[in-house]
């Protein structure tokens, strides 16, 4: 049987979810997944964070304590303000630690593949696009042999 969300817990859970989003933005990430957020602040599972944010379970004092201990003003959870500088710095460090721990669990071959992929992405972002590439990526139908009637002519 599905548990019914308590309206008060649902409101608080929405504030936690919003805080998690603001926290991600403050450290330059698109998002912080529930599992990562849970690991960063007390070792909670994705399912636990999901139930807190969904208003199904009460948010433990331990989680609030870990947030406070890492520089977050608990009032900020319930306010519309921004993440403090101290909280942002702590979050960045915890987020990086979480990623490092995950990387260390990879075998050496996976680590090398990941490093190579990241290097390719970095190089792709810094690579200059040539004028020819710009023309072909903007209007691919102008490339040789890609006109719809060209293929019909070849079949005859």
User: What pLDDT, on a 0 to 100 scale, did the predictor assign at position 144?
Assistant: 52
User: What pLDDT, on a 0 to 100 scale, did the predictor assign at position 86?
Assistant: 65
In a domain, 148, yes or no: no
In a domain, 1, yes or no: no
- How confident is residue 19, by pLDDT bands cut at 50, 70 and 90? confident
In a domain, 139, yes or no: no
**Model pTM score:** 0.53
User: What pLDDT, on a 0 to 100 scale, did the predictor assign at position 47?
Assistant: 95
- How confident is residue 12, by pLDDT bands cut at 50, 70 and 90? confident
Domain that residue 94 falls in: 7-128
In a domain, 135, yes or no: no
> What are the tens digits of pLDDT across the range 92-133?
777 777 777 777 777 888 878 877 877 777 677 666 666 666
- Coil, strand or helix: which one is 30? coil
In a domain, 20, yes or no: yes
What's the token pair of residue 127? Answer: 């690579």
| Length of the chain (residues) | 156
In a domain, 136, yes or no: no
If one compares 81 and 122, the residue with the highest pLDDT of the two is 122
Nearest to 70 by CA among 25, 39, 40: 40
Residue 7 pLDDT > 70: yes
Q: How many domains does the chain have?
A: 1
Q: Is the alpha carbon torsion for 37, 89, 78, 18 positive or negative?
A: negative
- Name the DSSP class of 43: S
Burial 61-83, CB ≥16 within 10 A → b, else e: eebbebbeebebeeebbeeeeeb
Residue 149 pLDDT > 90: no
Give Cα 137 to chain centroid, integer Å: 29
User: What pLDDT, on a 0 to 100 scale, did the predictor assign at position 45?
Assistant: 95
> What are the tens digits of pLDDT across the range 23-65?
888 888 888 999 999 988 889 999 999 999 998 888 888 888 8
Q: Mark out the alpha helices in the chain (DSSP H runs).
A: 7-26, 34-40, 46-53, 61-69, 74-78, 85-104, 108-126, 131-138, 148-155
In a domain, 145, yes or no: no
In a domain, 36, yes or no: yes
User: What pLDDT, on a 0 to 100 scale, did the predictor assign at position 44?
Assistant: 93
């Amino acid at each position: 049987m599905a548990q019914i969300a308590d309206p008060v817990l649902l409101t608080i859970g929405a504030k936690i979810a919003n805080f998690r989003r603001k926290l991600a933005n403050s450290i330059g990430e698109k998002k912080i997944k529930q599992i990562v957020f849970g690991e960063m602040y007390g070792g909670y599972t994705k399912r636990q964070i999901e139930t807190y944010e969904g208003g199904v379970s009460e948010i433990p004092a331990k989680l609030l304590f870990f947030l406070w201990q890492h520089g977050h003003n608990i009032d900020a959870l319930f306010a519309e303000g921004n993440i403090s500088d101290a909280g942002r710095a702590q979050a960045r460090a915890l987020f990086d630690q979480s990623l490092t721990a995950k990387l260390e669990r990879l075998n050496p071959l996976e680590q090398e593949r990941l490093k190579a992929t990241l290097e390719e992405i970095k190089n792709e972002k810094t690579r200059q696009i040539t004028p020819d590439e710009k023309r072909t990526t903007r209007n691919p139908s102008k490339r040789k042999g890609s006109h719809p009637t060209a293929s019909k002519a070849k079949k005859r």
